[in-house]
Amino acid sequence: MSTPPPPTPPPSVPPQQPPPIPFSATPPAPPPGGPAPVAPGAPGAKPPLEPLTGFRSALEHTGLPRSVLTYKPRLPSRNWLIFWSVLSSVSYLYYDDRRRCKKIKAEYIAKVEHLGKEVLEGGSLGLVRKVRVLAARWPEDDEADRGAKYFRKYLKPYLVAAGIDYDTLPPPLYGAITRQTHAAILTARRQKLGLEPTPVPLSVPGAIDPAAVEANDLAGGVILIGRPSLKEYMEGLKRGWAGSVDEWVWEKEVEARMKGDGVFEGPASEVGEASSGAEFAADVPTTQSSGMSPTGLSFLNRPQPSLSSASASQAGPQVPTHMHLPPNPLPPQPPLLLVPWTNHLGFQQIPYMIYDFFTEHRKVEEGAKLAYALICGHTRPFLASSSSSFPTANTSSPSPFSSSEAPASTPGSLGPGLGSDLDFDRQAERYFKNDFDDLPARLQKAKDDYYPDLSARLADVRALAAGERELTDAEKKSTKPLVSEEDLRDERKKKELRWRGQVEGWGIVRKEQGVTYEDGWEGWLSVFREPREGEGEGAKKNEEKVW
C-alpha cells in the first residue's frame, strides 16, 4: 500500500468538545420532525453527533446515510436465537443424513455397475441371475407389503445396477411363505420321483431348458427380510423335505376340514360349529403335523390350480414308503441373504421411528453391504450352534424368549461372529406388538361373530330360492346381482382360509417359537457373507469352513 492510512483526527482537538461540523449551522431545510439546530445545552436539543472515525470519516461526505456508516451488527433477541438454532440444527441433521445416504448409495452403485454392463451370454435368450425375495408379513401390520418396500428401497438399486433380476412373492398372510415353500418343494420332489408329470417344455425356438433354469435358481439366492421370514422359510423347508410326498394343496385340506362342519347342510346347521371351533386351537403347530400341512398360493387372487382328475391320490396307488423319506444327502439349496429388519408400528414406538428418520444412512449402509455381499456371491455355512453355550431352538422344544439371555454378540448376518444364525435379528422381536399374542383369541371371536350371522343369511337366501319370500324393496332397486348360496359358500371359504392361515402363521412367527432346524441339516444351507480382504466380486466359491 503506497498511500498511508488516513490520518486520525489531530490530537489537538479536545475529545470533550466535538469539532464544529460544517454546514450544520445553516441547514438548507430543517430536518423533518427534528428541531432546528440550537446551541448545545438548550432544552430539546439533539445531542451532538459523534465524530466518525477511521475510514468512515472519509466516507462521511459521500452521501451515504450515517446509519449505514455507523452500522453495528447485533444478535437477534433471545427467542429468535432459540428458534433459529433449534430449526437449523434439526434441518442440518436431516440434510446431513440424506447427504450421507446419497454418498453411500453412489459409492456402492459405482462398485457394481460394471457388472450390469457385461454382455449377456446367449444374446436375448440368455439367463440372467435371479434372486427370490421373501418378505414375510410383520406381526400386526396391516400392510403385507412393507418388507418388500424395504427391499425395494435399500437393496434393489444395487441389484438393478449389477444386472440381477429379482422375484418378489407376495405373502398375504402369516405363514404364507411356509406354505408356498412347502408346495414348491413338494412339487419338485414329486416330479423327481415320477409321481407327478413334469411340465413338457414347449418346442418353440425361444424355450428355455428347465435344467438351466433350475441351475440358475440355485445359483441365484434367496433374500429373507426380517426374522419372521427366516422362521417361515425354515419351517417350510422342514415341511417340504421331512414331510411325506403325498399330494397336498392347502386350500383343499382346509376345505376337507370344513366339509364335515355342516354349516351348509340343512336348515338347522349349527351342530357343526362346535367341532370347527375346537379345531381352531389344534391348528397351531407345535409338533409335526400328520402329513398334511398347509400352503397357500395367493388363494385370494388366483383360481385353484386344476389337478389332473386321475390323481385321486388317497384312493389311487399308494406311494411306497421309501419315497417319503427325504433324499440323503439333501439336495443343495440356494444361499440365503439374511437381512435384518425391524418394522416399528404403533404409538409407543414413535421415538424409534423418529430416530430412524434421522439416521437413515445406517439402513442404507447396511442394505448396501448386504446387497454387495449378495452380488459378490461368497458364502459361508449356516451356523446353527454358537461357540457359546446358547441353546438352539427346535420346534419340539421352543425356547421361551424371556427365560434365556441373548448371546453376547448377536451375529451380523454377514460376519461369522460367534453367535448362531438361528438367533438372527432376535432383538427385532422385542418390537413385536403385544397384541400379537392374542391373535388366536381375536380370530376365534371373529368366528363366533360370523357364524350365527352366516346361518341367518343362509336361511334368508334359501327361503328366497325356495320361493318362500319375495324380493325386498332394497333388493329390487339395487343393480348388484343377488347374493346366492354359492356366494355365501365362497365367502365362508375365504374367511376360513384366512383365519386358519393366520393362526398357523402365528404359531410359526411368534417370539416364543424359535427358528426351525433339524439335526440332519448341518452343512446343508449357506449364507451370503461379506467379501474378505483381497476377495473381489467373483463367481461363487464353494462353501468355506469358518474355523
Would you tell me which residues interact with another protein (CB under 8 A)? 113, 115-120, 123-124, 126, 128, 160-165, 479
Q: Smaller CB distance to another protein: residue 126 or 260?
A: 126
Q: Are 226 and 340 in contact, with CB atoms under 8 Å apart?
A: yes
Q: Smaller CB distance to another protein: residue 220 or 411?
A: 220
Q: Are 523 and 370 in contact, with CB atoms under 8 Å apart?
A: no
Q: Smaller CB distance to another protein: residue 7 or 123?
A: 123
Q: Smaller CB distance to another protein: residue 334 or 501?
A: 334
Q: Smaller CB distance to another protein: residue 115 or 188?
A: 115
Q: Are 21 and 49 in contact, with CB atoms under 8 Å apart?
A: yes
Please name the amino acid found at residue 220.
Answer: G
Smallest distance, Å, CB 165 to another protein? Answer: 5
Strand order in the sheet with 165-168: 165-168, 130-135, 222-225, 336-339, 526-528, 379-381
Smallest distance, Å, CB 453 to another protein? Answer: 29
Task: State the Cα–Cα distance between residues 317 and 52, nearest whole angstrom.
Answer: 113
Q: How far is CA 362 from CA 24, 104, 385, in A?
A: 69, 10, 28
Half-sphere exposure of 442 (CA within 13 A, CB side): 10
Q: What stretch of H or E contains 443? A: helix 439-465
Smallest distance, Å, CB 109 to another protein? Answer: 11
Burial class (CB in 10 A: 0-12, 13-18, 19+), 169: middle
Smallest distance, Å, CB 220 to another protein? Answer: 12
Smallest distance, Å, CB 118 to another protein? Answer: 5
Q: Smaller CB distance to another protein: residue 78 or 480?
A: 480
Q: Smaller CB distance to another protein: residue 106 or 256?
A: 106
Task: State the Cα–Cα distance between residues 322 and 141, nearest whole angstrom.
Answer: 43
Ramachandran bin of 20, using left for φ above 0, alpha for ψ from -120 to 50, beta for the remaining angles:
beta
Q: Smaller CB distance to another protein: residue 76 or 126?
A: 126
Q: Smaller CB distance to another protein: residue 96 or 165?
A: 165
The C-alpha cell that represents 119 in the structure block:
454382455
The C-alpha cell that represents 313 in the structure block:
391320490
For residue 475, the 8-state DSSP code is H
Smallest distance, Å, CB 246 to another protein? Answer: 34
Smallest distance, Å, CB 65 to another protein? Answer: 55
Tell me the DSSP string of 300-369: TTSPPP---TT--TTTSSPPPHHHHSPPSSPPP-PPEEEE------SGGGHHHHHHHHH-HHHHHHHHHH
Q: Which residue has the cell 445531542?
A: 47
CA-angle at 395, arms to 390 and 398, nearest 5°: 50
Q: Are 517 and 241 in contact, with CB atoms under 8 Å apart?
A: no
Smallest distance, Å, CB 309 to another protein? Answer: 29
Smallest distance, Å, CB 130 to another protein? Answer: 9
